[in-house]
Structure 1
């Protein structure tokens, strides 16, 4: 909880950057303080820090994500344990340093050490080309579109991505994705 003010500041930075780019993501009340506090209490918040300064943050959520239950397209895996990454943001004072990628790489290393996690899923707004670039650059495969649930964003369909971990079991791969 001691990190909450810095996390909120970074989320505000992200909201302002998106607004400056005319991207209609995070322009309402989401994500708000209650969401960030819940992330912390659930143990989902991760931060990237340097010299006691938080440079970036994300929520890493295990289990079923209701927004990912239906997809226009196909996930790489089916019926396998995954992590969902949400609310990724980097401090505006440190843009251009590749910190989102560094945050992802550290998350991947931890996921690869967990025998239960077979993939990582993430989504982003169709207009957020910067985040799309970071996601693809870090080894995610675009899998389709998802409608976000429980965020008062009716009709918005984010681009969905998935990245396999070192633990993926061949039986859990969605074979339809690999057919011609």
Structure 2
């Protein structure tokens, strides 16, 4: 199944579709009864900055962009202070702003994407990922646990507490 999906760097020409996917993600959060992403974050500027920094990625399904995320290997300052404990001090990739086009929901694309991200990280010599999500985002918590991520505790990001997860592979 994974073979027909690719993870690739987002380019400036992808900006509008990436923003649309983020906006769909915001709407999906609200449909589930919570707000993790606010009206003003993430926004067009966030994605533009991700692309400029080379940390914006898309998942393509049959040459169509199906998902957007940030994969950053420079660390996340908010992860320095955790109520709990990370499972490793190894260099890590952090995943932020993961969202999928609603046309691709329900097919296991998140699982496929995590597999692609792990292979990508390994090519960069990194075998450790950290990620966080909001307390009411039960869907993402389920996906993370299903994909082998372990809960590490709570971090504070942009002024609010988040559940922190990591995975060594």
TM norm. shorter chain > 0.5: yes
Q: Does the aligned pair in 1 maintain the 2:21–2:67 contact within 8 Å?
A: yes
The question of 1:162 aligning with 2:166 is answered: yes
1:9-88 alignment to 2 at 5 Å? 9-78=20-89, 80-88=90-98
Computed over aligned residues only, the root mean square deviation of the Cα atoms, in angstroms, reads 1.1
1:51 Cα deviation after fit: 3.1
Contact 1:62 1:82 in 2 (8 A): yes
Q: Unmatched 5+ residue regions in structure 1?
A: 166-180
2:125 paired with 1:90: no
Paired position in structure 1 for 2:3: none
Deviations 1:133-155 (A, max 9, x none): 1111111111001000xx3xx2x
What is the rounded CA distance, in whole Å, between the counterparts of 1:27 and 1:34 in structure 2?
Answer: 14
Contact 2:34–2:137 (CA<8 Å) still a contact in 1? yes
Task: Provide the secondary structure at the position in 2 that maps to 1:3.
Answer: helix
Q: Any stretches of 5+ residues in structure 2 without a counterpart? A: 1-11
The structure where strand makes up a greater share of residues is 2
| SS of corresponding position for 2:46 | helix
Aligned length: 158
- Normalising by structure 1, we get a TM-score of 0.84
Shift of 1:27: 2.6
For the 8 Å contact 2:118–2:127, the answer to whether it is kept is no
CA distance in 2 between partners of 1:82 and 1:45 (Å): 16
- For the residues of structure 1 that align with 2:95 and 2:155, how far apart are their CA atoms? 14
SS of 2:69's equivalent? Answer: strand
1:90 CA drift (Å) = 0.6
**Alpha-carbon separation, structure 1, partners of 2:130 and 2:57:** 16
Q: Runs of 4 or more off by more than 6 Å in structure 1?
A: none
User: Does the Cα contact within 8 Å between 1:75 and 1:143 map onto a contact in 2?
Assistant: yes
**Distance across 1 between alignment mates of 2:65 and 2:38:** 23
